[in-house]
A and B are shown apart, each in its own frame.
Chain A
Amino acid sequence: EVQLVESGGGLVKPGGSLRLSCAVSGFTFSLYHMNWVRQAPGKGLEWVSSISSNNDYIYYTDSVKGRFTISRDNAKNSLYLQMNSLRAEDTAVYYCARALEPHNWFDPWGRGTLVTVSS
């Protein structure tokens, strides 16, 4: 069974840092592009970042450029999101999602991990 499990969320003060992880199983992780998508409370979906299967291509939404870093460890079947200089507007549930095509077709998604940025 294909599974994605996020972890690392929590409460952090503005300006703080957090590292999210996504552990995957049930498929050959090294063959797929991976993504982070977030959803602020009561709001819609917002794509955050993507990374190609072999790290050749990395993209970020403008609002996190310079603050967030996506990475992966194919040997550990894990995806990461290092989040620095966090702001209140980064408060959201963060989902990791496998991309069945380079730039979309997100399937499946993890259950998400909640990040709350508040003093």
Chain B
Amino acid sequence: QSVLTQPPSASGTPGQRVSISCSGSSSNIGSNFVYWYQQLPGTAPKVLIYRNNQRPSGVPDRFSGSKSGTSASLAISGLRSEDEADYYCAAWDDSLRGVVFGGGTKLTVL
């Protein structure tokens, strides 16, 4: 059972907009930044969003992050087949004194 809660799966057709939620608590998302990681099949994870809603250079602006209270979400617009991957949210947890990840959401592009 992960500290951060994500839906196990999401799907969409090419060109659609999909959103992935991440729910936490006051000790993690509620008081710290949220980060999103993308893991393509058979590869190491890569950062997609840092500090709730910032994109590293090289990440397309189709990817956006937001946070409100103890929840966060990742939105992907103009869905493409290469976006098919696992997506993880993460945050520091003040009570656990460690980084907590969501269980991951497998995105399928239909």
- A contact set with B: CB distance below 8 Å: 35, 37, 44-47, 50, 59-62, 95, 100-101, 103-112
Contact = CB atoms under 8 A, between A and B. Distances in A.
Interface in B39-96: 39, 44-47, 50-51, 56, 86, 88, 90-92, 96
Contact of A106 (B47, B97, B98): B47
B88 A45 contact: yes
B100 interface: yes
Contacts, number: 68
Interface of B: 2, 32-33, 35, 37, 39, 44-47, 50-51, 56, 86, 88, 90-92, 96-104
B56 A107 contact: yes
10 contacts: A35-B99, A45-B37, A45-B88, A95-B45, A101-B33, A101-B51, A103-B32, A104-B33, A106-B90, A112-B44
Contact of B45 (A45, A50, A60, A103): A45
Nearest to B105: A44
A112 B42 CA distance: 11
Given A44-B101, A59-B97, A95-B45, A100 B50 contact: yes
Contact of B100 (A47, A95, A112): A47
Nearest to B86: A44
Nearest to B96: A62
A59 B103 contact: no
A111 to B, nearest CB: 6
A47 B102 CA distance: 11
A46 B46 CA distance: 15
A19 to B, nearest CB: 21
A101 B51 CA distance: 10
Nearest to B45: A109
**A-B complex: 3 closest residue pairs judged by Cβ atoms:** A47-B99, A103-B92, A44-B104
Contacts of A60: 98
